[in-house]
Amino acid sequence: MRSRGLLVFLISLFLNFSLARADFSGLWVGEGSLHQGDLRSFPCTAFLEFRHSAVELETIQGQFDCQKVRIRSLSKIVAIIDGRLYYKNQLVGVIGVQDIFSSYWDFKAGWNHQFRLHRKDNFIRYFEQTTLADGREYYRIEAVLKLD
């Protein structure tokens, strides 16, 4: 648990927080790819919708259509306190001027989930990855989305 706090602290330094921040609100659409281990890669069309305020970030909806694979994002609200993201009172990530980073372990399921967004102008670069407890990658999604 102590290493998670150190990781979040180091990431927050890396992201160079300030009082100014990008607003991630809106509907974002674009294309990307889904990778499942080293074996398969599928092109994707994608959309994500966020509502972002000074105190919370809500994922309203999201979907990645990757040929025969469809991944939907569940509606979720995370609290923002001093540049840190909390879900159900648990620290899960950080938010900065143009970046969001979240990483958490599901010890019961035996996997780690990471999520990153980087905003530049009206575009965001999206990255999501789930790895198994032994370090093998389960899946990875990368996309570039534009504010619609």
d(CA 123, CA 69): 24
- Give yes or no for a contact between 100 and 57, defined as CB atoms under 8 angstroms apart: yes
CB 113 within 8 A of CB 132: no
CA pair distance 129, 115, nearest whole angstrom: 7
Position 107 scores a pLDDT of 83
**Which two tokens mark 5?**
């706090």
Rounded CA separation 145/143 (Å) = 6
- Please, what is the average pLDDT of the chain? 85
Give the whole-number percent of the chain exceeding pLDDT 70: 85
If one compares 17 and 125, the residue with the highest pLDDT of the two is 125
